[in-house]
Amino acid sequence: MSQLELIRALPKAELHVHIEGTFEPELMFAIAQRNQIDIPYMSVEEVKQAYNFHNLQSFLDIYYAGANVLIHEQDFYDLAWAYFEKCAEDRVVHTEMFFDPQTHTDRGIAFETVINGLQRACDDAKAKFGISSHLIMCFLRHLSEEAALETLAQALPYKDQIIGVGLDSSEVGHPPSKFERVFAKAREAGFLVVAHAGEEGPAEYVWEALDLLKVNRIDHGVRSEEDPVLMQRLIAEKMPLTVCPLSNLKLCVVDDMAQHNIRRLLQQGVQVTVNSDDPSYFGGYMNDNFIAITDALDLTAAELKQLALNSFEASFISAEEKQKWAAEIVAIA
Ligand code: ADE
Ligand code: ZN
């Protein structure tokens, strides 16, 4: 079996995908039209040309503008459904999907509208494709602690539908410590917790996410390598890093895929996983990310299998389900 065939055959879990970042320009145009919302582009081609980023903020500005056309429950359903169709093509059998409620509630869209649309797509994906999913609600770290607390309160009635909380948006200048009290409350309420750290921000932010937010996983975390003591801690605690190779390339976190540290992290024993982050904006879904690192770093079949195993091991599914997927991965010749 070639590396490409193996990538396609492996069952995989996606643990770091922002549903608003799966918004393909074609769907954005269709939804904008039916909601009669003007977007600053004349064509799908023009949208794609605008996707030329030099850092995280230059991406976020365009990403939040795109989300503005989402108004109705059906819009959120269509967005998530399009992503599940990609999952089915890529053999992503489980996904833990981020959504940014504040991006929508700040525009007057009800929390309920967002969650109902996403949940219905999750239910249909289970029924039609057998894909399981969890929802993770992210706080926008460029907004205040108070706004995050308000969002947490809005989420409580939907506690059964939201497995955890996360932290995303502009990293530098908004350290995890800003949300220590919010995350304590979230954990107390029974949410699992994750946080973006060490994407553009320093290794110090990863320490804060571990020590102050007490996260179950680190999203990105690629800058952890700059701190050998932190590396030892991540390895000893089997702390997962949800790495997003094409995202890192597009946002200039790395200059060249051949310089990406995912293989080194894996070889040192860090529990790294492969993810797409915002696939519509960064040029590819799960398998595109696997292919990009395999081509650039010459990954072996054993390493590809380890990455797929890690994705389930680091997920929030049950021990029995982890066992089942691990057995299937090991059995692939
Ligand atoms: N929101 C969507 N994608 C993000 C990323 N890569 N980092 C921080 N916030 C995000
Ligand atoms: Zn992300």
Q: Could you read off the pLDDT of 233-276 as tens digits, one per residue? A: 999 999 999 999 999 999 999 999 999 999 999 999 999 999 99
Strands 217-220 and 192-197, bridge-based pairing:
parallel
Cα–Cα distance, 162 to 76 (Å, whole number): 16
What band does 312 get if pLDDT is binned at 50, 70 and 90?
very high
Predicted confidence at residue 333, as pLDDT, reads: 83
Cα–Cα distance, 305 to 301 (Å, whole number): 6
Instruction: Dig out the tokens for 103 from the structure.
Output: 């991006």
Beta strands across the sheet bearing 192-197: 12-18, 92-99, 132-140, 164-168, 192-197, 217-220, 241-243, 272-274
- For the CA of 15, the nearest ligand: 2
Start-to-end Cα distance in the chain: 8
Predicted confidence at residue 82, as pLDDT, reads: 98
Cα–Cα distance, 262 to 257 (Å, whole number): 10
177: exposed, middle or buried (C-beta count within 10 Å: 0-12, 13-18, 19+)?
middle
Residue 40 has pLDDT above 90, yes or no: no
Residue 280 has pLDDT above 90, yes or no: yes
For the stretch 282-298, pLDDT in tens is: 999 999 999 999 999 99
pLDDT over 70 percentage in the chain:
100
Predicted confidence at residue 249, as pLDDT, reads: 97
Tell me which residues have their CB closer than 6 angstroms to ligand 1. Answer: 18, 21, 56, 63, 168-169, 196, 199, 247, 277-278
Cα–Cα distance, 172 to 112 (Å, whole number): 31
Q: Residue 190 region, left (φ>0) first, then alpha (ψ -120 to 50), else beta?
A: left
Nearest CA to 46 out of 58, 29, 63, 71 is that of 29
Half-sphere exposure of 191 (CA within 13 A, CB side): 30
Cα–Cα distance, 155 to 151 (Å, whole number): 6
Pocket test for ligand 1, best of 17, 18, 64, 281 (most atoms within 8 A of CB): 18
What DSSP element (H or E) covers 13? strand 12-18
Q: What residue numbers does the annotated binding site cover?
A: 16, 18, 196, 277-278
Predicted confidence at residue 24, as pLDDT, reads: 96
